């Protein structure tokens, strides 16, 4: 059965359409908002699609307005989706800290209270939202790539390594690379998944890289002046890639920090990387 949605806004952008939409999610039990840019090519048939997962505190809007992706996606003829990072609203569990609860879903399916009823972001991103978008927009679900920034980079890498049959390409900007051994990870994985660290392995890109890797190439960009390097632990993932001899590139970009100025700078590289692999 086709899922229903409502249009929040639609704007002309680089010959295509930047839309924002809202729907009732069965996975989260809440209303969820997402954005999708469709290039002009989508008026004539289905186009490849790139999923962009955002970081802590973000909504769909941050990357939509700050990442500068639309121009590159229009040139490449691919769509890009910006989901929200968590369920929101009255009755949804939250925390006073910015890095847990609403705005910090961490792209996992929570098994622990009070998070379990709504924080089912893995299922939402991997299954429910692609079905809704595939049924209602001109995207090719057989040509999907995934990327993300910070917490979203963590999500992109773990989802792609777990479901390589779904994603032909994967990249990341400044990912939380080893959450099992970071304060950006232990707190959230413990809260959402419980204290059994075996349950955390499926959501740690360094551990997944050691265990299975990714069948294609991987692109990762990290700023050398990132103020959160000690929390992100990029060296752990880089070492795991080398140990596995994982094809791809891990680029330490001199002078760049964790901001969207960094993401903007290399967004074109990432969009074209995915476009080549989704063609």
Answer yes or no: 140 catalytic: no
| Residues 155 and 105: beta-carbon distance below 8 Å | no
Nearest to 172 by CA among 254, 227, 238: 238
Of 70, 95, 85, which is closest to residue 32 (Cα–Cα)? 85
Catalytic residue among 109, 204, 221, 226: 226
Instruction: Tell which residue, 203, 165, 209, 168, has the closest CA to residue 185.
Output: 203
The answer to whether 9 is a known catalytic residue is no
The residue from 54, 86, 150, 174 that is catalytic is: 150
- Of the residues 118, 149, 178, 258, only one is catalytic, namely 258
The yes-or-no answer on residue 113 being catalytic is: no
Would you name the residues annotated as active-site residues?
150, 226, 258
């Amino acid at each position: 059965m086709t899922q229903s949605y409502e249009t929040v806004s639609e704007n002309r952008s680089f010959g295509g359409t930047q839309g924002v939409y809202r729907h009732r999610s069965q996975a989260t039990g809440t209303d969820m908002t997402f954005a999708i840019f469709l290039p002009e090519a989508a008026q004539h048939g289905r186009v490849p699609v790139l999923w962009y997962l955002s970081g802590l505190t973000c909504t769909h809007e941050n990357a939509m307005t700050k990442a500068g992706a639309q121009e590159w996606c229009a040139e490449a003829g691919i769509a890009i989706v910006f989901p929200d990072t968590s369920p929101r609203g009255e009755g949804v569990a939250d925390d006073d800290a910015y890095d847990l609860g609403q705005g910090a879903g961490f792209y996992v399916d929570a098994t622990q209270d009070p998070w379990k009823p709504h924080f089912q972001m893995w299922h939402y991103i991997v299954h429910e939202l692609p079905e809704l978008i595939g049924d209602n927009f001109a995207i090719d679900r057989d040509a999907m790539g995934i990327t993300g920034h910070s917490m979203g980079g963590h999500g992109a890498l773990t989802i792609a390594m777990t479901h390589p049959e779904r994603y032909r390409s994967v990249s990341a900007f400044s990912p939380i690379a080893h959450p099992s051994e970071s304060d950006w990870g232990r707190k959230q994985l413990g809260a959402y998944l419980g204290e059994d660290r075996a349950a955390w392995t499926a959501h740690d890109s360094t551990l997944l890289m050691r265990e299975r890797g990714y069948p294609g190439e991987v692109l990762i960009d990290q700023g050398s002046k990132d103020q959160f390097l000690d929390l992100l632990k990029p060296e752990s993932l880089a070492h795991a890639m080398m140990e596995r001899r994982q094809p791809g590139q891990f680029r330490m970009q001199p002078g760049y920090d964790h901001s969207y100025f960094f993401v903007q700078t290399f967004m074109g590289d990432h969009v074209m990387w995915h476009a080549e692999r989704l063609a």
